[in-house]
Amino acid sequence: MIKKINIWYLSSLIISVVVAIPILVIFSSFFENTSEYRIILRETFLVDYIFNSLILLIGVMSLTSVIGIVCSYLISFYDFIGVNFFKWALILSFAIPAYIYSYSLSAFFENYGTAYSILKGIFGEANYNHYIPKPDGILGAIIALSFSIFGYVYVLTGLSFRYQSQNLIDLGKNLGFSKKKTFFKIILPAARPSIVAGLSLVAMETLSDFGSVSFFGVSTLTTGIYNAWITFDDLTLAYRLSFYLLIFIFGLLILENISRKKAQYHSPTKDSFEIKNKIKLFGYKSAFAFIFCFFIFFISFMFPLLQMGYWTYLFPKYLFELNLINLISNTLILVFFSCCLLITFGILSNYGNRITKSKFLQSLTTFSISGYAIPGVILAIAYISFISFLDENLLQSKNYNIKSLFIGTIFGLIIVYFIRFYSLANNGIKSGYLKINYSIDESAYLLGYSKIKTFNKIHLPYLKNSIFLVIILLLIEIVKELPITLIMRPFNFDTFATIAYAYASQDLLEAAAAPAIILILISSVFILITSRFILKDQT
């Protein structure tokens, strides 16, 4: 064991421990007392929180699976008007954070909102407010979340459909299956792991969503956690609720694993990468496919974009009031330093794991990156409590004030980003590494290459696409990120997301539109850059 400890081992260990801090803090809550709010909560709102979370979860998962699977099926197996456009256009929905979608939804359907203005423009003055539906509350949250995150199911299912063994599909034909039977008996079951992976991400995003549910006033476990912290100042209870939330998420994953048993779903043969001959659709079938995909594209991306654009056009003063240079430089600072840290340590950890082959280290990494499932709000407050604990118990006697260094500073914000997005960076780089057979390293050593030279000459050129992809994905996530930034940012430090949220929370949706549309445009550009990778083989 001692012999194994070297620089790689040590650095991987440190990263894993740092990233695991929030999980450890959450676990530690079971050794502390909670306030009376726990009893109040148990007797009053807890059932509501759980019920609302469940309804939200079921609603979002149902809607995203229908939209995601149907879109990816149409695009993977059929040729119709605009199919090549929709293939990448549908992933633009990733550019719309659920909270901005919620603002758009509210702005469009509210009394005297955009829908009213359109009807008035076409048909003249009337009491349209009475007839315009109001998708607020839990329905609004379900719609906003579903259309902004269905992309997970769409992308992952699409990958599985496109890479499914042609033999498998040919076998269906050979057995005389109809298209419908082939889809339900062969294609869909074979894509199940991908669908489940997509839905797991959807479930995690849904349960950890704060911006959208708080905007629509839906009480979920996440808002309960936030309330426990802010309103009742009971951090321990907040952690316990988070723990239950985590258990809930892991429970879903374990259930799926058990139900799958030992069935294998992938046949990674060379021919599975062949481009299948798509079925050409004509007439009404082609029109239906086009309309369906266009509807989803329009509702998920164009609608919030147009709504925000419309308001920015109506109220241009809010756009001119934005301190763009300041906002852009703030965003760039966060993106640059976070990416540097995440990529460096992601590589270090992966390379350390690869070299040491330590099972303990690999298990620790797996455990620590499971923090991805923890809502951003919890991550931030767990981090604050950890720093406070260090400050009060260990360092106060030495007159160090680490709070001022780690809390309410850009440095602190970047560290929590690091914890939040480490799994993304680590997994992105890992997926690149998984494609490099270990015997490749051994070949390099046997050709006289040192470990560093092997990394520079063999790994790095091979990983550059994965690293590029991870940087772009981090950029999109950081630009959109809201709860951590809200809690951790220094005074007067704003990003497009926090400005939009600040206006929206004051009911100034028309003012939130300008930062929101800039945020959408930035994200869209980077999504378009990465679309080639996202739709290819990076999962």
Partner 1 sequence: MKNYFEINNVTFAASNKNKVENVSLKIENEGDVVCLLGPSGIGKTTILRTIAGLEKIKSGNIILNGKTISSGTIHIEPENRNISLSFQDNSLFPHYNIIDNIKFGAERNKRKTKKIHLDYVVEFLHLENIKFKYPHQISSGEGQRASLARSLLSMPNLLLLDEPLSNIDQNFKEEIQVKLKQILREYKITTIIVTHDSYEAFYLGSKCGIILDSQLKQYDDPYNLHHFPNSIEIVNFLNKGTLIPATVIDEKSLENKDLGLIEGDFIKHYPKGSKVKLLLQPEDLEHDDKSNLKLDVVDRKFRGTNFIYTLKTQSDLLIQVFVHSHHIHQHDINEKFGIKKPIHIDHIVCFD
CA 67 to chain centre: 18
Residue 196, helix vs strand vs coil? helix
Q: Which is nearer to partner 1, 283 or 461 (CB)?
A: 461
Closest distance between partner 1 and the C-beta of residue 441, in Å?
A: 9
Q: Are 77 and 180 in contact (CB under 8 A)?
A: no
DSSP state string for 330-353: HHHHHHHHHHHHHHHHHHHHHHHH
Do 462 and 435 form a contact (C-beta atoms < 8 A)? Answer: yes
Where do contacts with partner 1 occur on this chain (CB under 8 A)?
Answer: 435-437, 439-440, 442-451, 458, 461-462
Task: Give the residue with the Cβ less far from partner 1, 302 or 436.
Answer: 436
Whose Cβ is closer to partner 1: residue 30's or residue 273's?
273
Residue 166 CB, shortest distance to partner 1, in Å, is 18
| Pairing status of strand 78-79 against strand 279-280 | parallel
Q: CB-wise, 9 or 239, nearer to partner 1?
A: 9
Max Cα separation, the chain?
A: 82
> What is the CB-side half-sphere exposure of residue 470 using CA atoms within 13 A?
27
Structure tokens that stand for 505 in this block = 């929370």
- Of 3 and 317, the one with the shorter C-beta distance to partner 1 is 3
Q: Say which residues have a Cβ less than 8 Å from residue 225's Cβ, sequence separation at least 6.
A: 238, 241, 242, 245, 375, 377, 378
Q: Which is nearer to partner 1, 376 or 428 (CB)?
A: 428
User: Tokens 């911006």 appear where?
Assistant: 211
Cβ proximity to partner 1: between 451 and 536 the closer is 451
Q: What does residue 280 show for φ and ψ, rounded to 5 degrees?
A: -80, 130
Nearer to partner 1 by Cβ, of 436 and 502: the residue is 436
Work out how close the CB of 6 gets to partner 1 at its nearest, in angstroms, rounded to a whole number. 13
Residue 496: its H or E element: helix 496-505
DSSP 137-163: HHHHHHHHHHHHHTHHHHHHHHHHHHH
CB of 272 to partner 1, least distance (A): 13
- In the complex, the smallest distance separating the C-beta of residue 447 from partner 1, rounded to whole angstroms, is 5
Q: What is the smallest separation between the CB atom of 360 and partner 1, expressed in angstroms?
A: 19
Cβ atoms within 10 A of the Cβ of 362, count?
Answer: 15
- Minimum gap (Å) between residue 444 Cβ and partner 1: 8
Instruction: Provide the minimum distance between the beta carbon of 88 and partner 1 in the complex, in angstroms, as a whole number.
Output: 25
Whose Cβ is closer to partner 1: residue 287's or residue 447's?
Answer: 447
Of the candidates 430, 414, 428, 529, the one whose C-alpha atom is nearest the C-alpha of residue 481 is 414
Q: Which is nearer to partner 1, 59 or 432 (CB)?
A: 432
Measured at the alpha carbon of residue 347, what is the angle toward residues 534 and 257, in degrees to the nearest 5? 60
- Tokens 């799958």 identify what position? 260
Q: Is the dihedral of CA 184, 189, 191, 193 positive or negative?
A: positive
Q: How far is the CB of 456 from partner 1 (least distance, A)?
A: 13
The least CB distance from residue 526 to partner 1, in Å, is 25
